[in-house]
Structure 1
Amino acid sequence: MTELLIVSKPRGRIFKWIGGGVYKEYKDLISKSISDRVDDLLVSGSEYVEQRIDDGIWESHTTPDKQNLAVEKIRIWLKRYGSPSGSIRVELWNGDKTTKIADIGSKDVSEISTTGAEYDFVPSSTIQLDPNTTYQIKVWHDGTYDSSNYIAGRYFTDTEKYDIDLYLKFFIQGAELEVTLDFIYSGTAIKRLQESVSKTNVTIKDVEVNGQSVGTSLEKEDDIPQADNYTVIYVYDVDADSYSLSISIQRYLYYNKTSITLDDLDVSEAYLQEIKYGSDGGILRIDDDPDSDLTGSANETIQFTDILIPFRKLEWISGGGEVLILGVE
């Protein structure tokens, strides 16, 4: 009688487990940049005559065809004669002088020089300006004055329109630079983003990732929504005639899981084959036994080629890295 014995050979599988807080770059950088110039509305000349302020002098300015402009300040030349009282007020009006838009600032007349000087009037809150729009700036004396006691401005006689010696200085507020990118990944890691920023004369006020603010910078340590596509918006201000802003964003996979078991691997047996420690080194513990800790330095690799190291559980006590595992079903 012949007996037939059928033996089932177990199947082995190789796993790579990355854990302990390891970041891995994913795909290429995505970059976006912007640069521009916004000149102040400045008038100048070499010949001028003085003009009493009294109940008002006006100067018109037309804004450039640019978005997100705001009034930083009005600068005007003023001179005091005698001892007038009250204050000089500066206001922003619409182009045909029918509607006052905002108060820009005021200054007590006692602060104005008797030899003449330039003075800045700075708004206490943001005054936004529309692009390619004509505005009127009104300067007037709110107080008492007469022919011997008054405040004078001046206008240039060698300019085409006899411009008042007054100029409007802009700044850009709340402008946005938008970077879009896809992040298609379906593994166990968490998606993270890391910025690289180069800027000149730019102040970043906020960074939004898919509508969620992460502060004024975007770091790979920041929690972000998990999505297949991202819109990153940089909100910025500019206080200069010219500026530039360049953003590059690197996608990262963040492996934050610190332990793994046979159940996680869905195998009956598992053996260590190789450990690649990360940039901070680390300690890998086997089966919750401190005596079995495997300690490695930064970027060190330990291979187990001549001996099988079985385990039921691996845990990164500190640091992290990549572990090559042989699993038996």
Structure 2
Amino acid sequence: MTELIVVSSPRMRYMKWIGGGIFKTYLPAVSGSISGSMYILSIPYGAGYNYPMFDNTKRGQQFSFASPPSSTILSRVSIYMCRVGNPTGTAYVNLYSDNNGVPGSVIASIGSVDVSTIPTSFSYVTFTPASPPSINAGTKYWIVFEYTPPNSSNDINLWRRSSDVYADHLGARYSGGSWVTSQYDHVMDITLGNIPTPLIVNLDFQYFGVATRRLEAAVTQSSNVTLDSILVNGVNIGTSLAKITDIPQATSYTIQHNYSVPTTAGTWHNWSITSSIQRYLYYNKTSIMLDELNLSEAYIQKVTFLANGTTLIIDDNPDTMLTGNSGASVTFTEKLPFRKLEWVTGSGEVEIVGYE
């Protein structure tokens, strides 16, 4: 129950007792940040019809984006589809180059899906590449969905619009060994740039004294970022982390910041978020007894007041009340024994010499 103990002889000890609800910074702050840009190219759901894969083992959608930026990455593709019957096997989504208005060669794998897991009602199924491929502004590419169903009763259907909703870009199907294009587009969302991921800050808190560990996060973010939650070692503590907040006591911490950014299609969203985590020691004990110090006798050497209007009472005796404002101190040249100390108001530090 003591702090900053220095042993000077086998029986005598010097110590400092801090109490009354005082916070002290502990080691420098640890910071983390994350930023990015995201664009959603959407061919939205609307009037159209279900388009089976049977007899058409590949279906493609042409797309491009305009500068700026001059280049970016393809981060995610969500295709509107459903399952018919009980098809089996794996469907693949690939990024193709453009070859005079039809899909050319495969540039990168975007993902795959076990077709038995695709919903039986139309839904967006999302594919995320393990290594997002780079693409260039002003260049046309193709998203191609590939699957060979066993028959028309066990199939995968995509949703195809019945009008040209994505001007100057084509839809296509692979049939009879060649590509057949159409002005009608397949419903899908293509995400370019950086998909927001949680901001993680890791830090050590190797402390073994009597104080309670506390953390405080100073979070700054761009105006389009909404902070949704902060998790401390997996515990959700809300959208702010202040030093007055109770947290799990541990020797290391992972602080996860969950946030959201706009998902409006057709515009680039630039975002950033930074968090600086300060470690604190919280001395919240307001009183202490001699036996808690494991001493047979103890004497006050100095009292330092850490808040305005602070009052320390010795041995529950009103005649021994000491009062002071922040920064003031009292030093005793004669031994002042005690058996109990209590911060009645405010907080402070007491320097003690004691004997075992």
Q: What TM-score does the superposition give when structure 2 sets the normalisation length?
A: 0.59
Q: State yes or no: 1:223 paired with 2:246.
A: yes
Q: Do the aligned residues in 2 keep the contact of 1:173 with 1:238 (CA within 8 Å)? A: no
Q: Do the aligned residues in 1 keep the contact of 2:14 with 2:354 (CA within 8 Å)? A: yes
Relative distance call for 1:256 and 1:268 in structure 2 (3 A) is same
Query: How well do the aligned residues superpose, as a CA RMSD in angstroms?
Result: 4.1
| Matched residue type, 2:324 | G
Residue 119 (structure 1) aligns with: none
Q: State yes or no: 1:309 paired with 2:336.
A: yes
Residue 175 (structure 2) aligns with: none
Counterparts of 1:272-287 in structure 2 under 5 Å? 272-287=300-315
Residue 290 (structure 2) aligns with: 262
Post-superposition offset of 1:243 = 0.9
Q: Do the aligned residues in 2 keep the contact of 1:20 with 1:255 (CA within 8 Å)? A: yes
Post-superposition offset of 1:138 = 4.0
Q: Do the aligned residues in 1 keep the contact of 2:305 with 2:327 (CA within 8 Å)? A: yes
What residue ranges of structure 1 are gaps of 5+ in the alignment? Answer: 1-8, 44-51, 72-90, 105-126, 141-151
Partner residue of 1:322 out of 340, 343, 349:
349
Q: Distance in 1 between matches of 2:195 and 2:121?
A: 17
Residue 130 (structure 1) aligns with: 127
Cα deviation digits, residues 12-51 of structure 1 (max 9, x gap)? 43211011111111111111111011112168xxxxxxxx
Post-superposition offset of 1:234 = 1.5
Partner residue of 2:218 out of 196, 219, 236:
196
Q: Do the aligned residues in 1 keep the contact of 2:75 with 2:191 (CA within 8 Å)? A: no
Post-superposition offset of 1:271 = 2.3
Q: Do the aligned residues in 2 keep the contact of 1:62 with 1:134 (CA within 8 Å)? A: no
| Matched residue type, 1:261 | M
Q: Do the aligned residues in 2 keep the contact of 1:59 with 1:163 (CA within 8 Å)? A: no
Q: Distance in 2 between matches of 1:65 and 1:317?
A: 63
Q: Give the total of aligned pairs.
A: 258
Q: Distance in 2 between matches of 1:128 and 1:215?
A: 31
Relative distance call for 1:245 and 1:11 in structure 2 (3 A) is same
Q: Distance in 2 between matches of 1:11 and 1:169?
A: 74
SS at match of 1:175: coil
Q: State yes or no: 1:13 paired with 2:13.
A: yes
Q: Distance in 2 between matches of 1:61 and 1:287?
A: 83
Residue 66 (structure 1) aligns with: 75
SS at match of 1:41: strand
Residue 41 (structure 2) aligns with: 41
Post-superposition offset of 1:262 = 1.6
Partner residue of 1:182 out of 200, 204, 227:
204
SS at match of 2:292: helix
Relative distance call for 1:134 and 1:219 in structure 2 (3 A) is farther
SS at match of 1:27: coil
Relative distance call for 1:204 and 1:273 in structure 2 (3 A) is same
Cα deviation digits, residues 43-98 of structure 1 (max 9, x gap)? 8xxxxxxxx9465799948896437x9x8xxxxxxxxxxxxxxxxxxx92279999
| Matched residue type, 2:35 | S
Residue 149 (structure 2) aligns with: none
Relative distance call for 1:65 and 1:306 in structure 2 (3 A) is same
Q: Do the aligned residues in 2 keep the contact of 1:59 with 1:138 (CA within 8 Å)? A: no
Q: Distance in 2 between matches of 1:239 and 1:282?
A: 49
| Matched residue type, 1:66 | S
Post-superposition offset of 1:179 = 1.4
SS at match of 1:231: strand
Query: What percentage of aligned pairs have identical amino acids?
Result: 37
Q: Distance in 2 between matches of 1:279 and 1:170?
A: 54
Q: Distance in 2 between matches of 1:294 and 1:102?
A: 76
Q: State yes or no: 1:214 paired with 2:242.
A: no
Q: What TM-score does the superposition give when structure 1 sets the normalisation length?
A: 0.63
Q: Distance in 2 between matches of 1:304 and 1:134?
A: 81
Q: Distance in 1 between matches of 2:19 and 2:302?
A: 14
Q: Do the aligned residues in 2 keep the contact of 1:173 with 1:236 (CA within 8 Å)? A: no
Residue 92 (structure 1) aligns with: 80
Q: Distance in 2 between matches of 1:159 and 1:61?
A: 5
Relative distance call for 1:179 and 1:61 in structure 2 (3 A) is farther
| Matched residue type, 1:319 | G
Q: Do the aligned residues in 2 keep the contact of 1:40 with 1:167 (CA within 8 Å)? A: no
Q: Distance in 2 between matches of 1:36 and 1:221?
A: 32
| Matched residue type, 2:22 | V
Q: Do the aligned residues in 1 keep the contact of 2:308 with 2:324 (CA within 8 Å)? A: no
Q: State yes or no: 1:235 paired with 2:232.
A: no
Relative distance call for 1:289 and 1:40 in structure 2 (3 A) is same
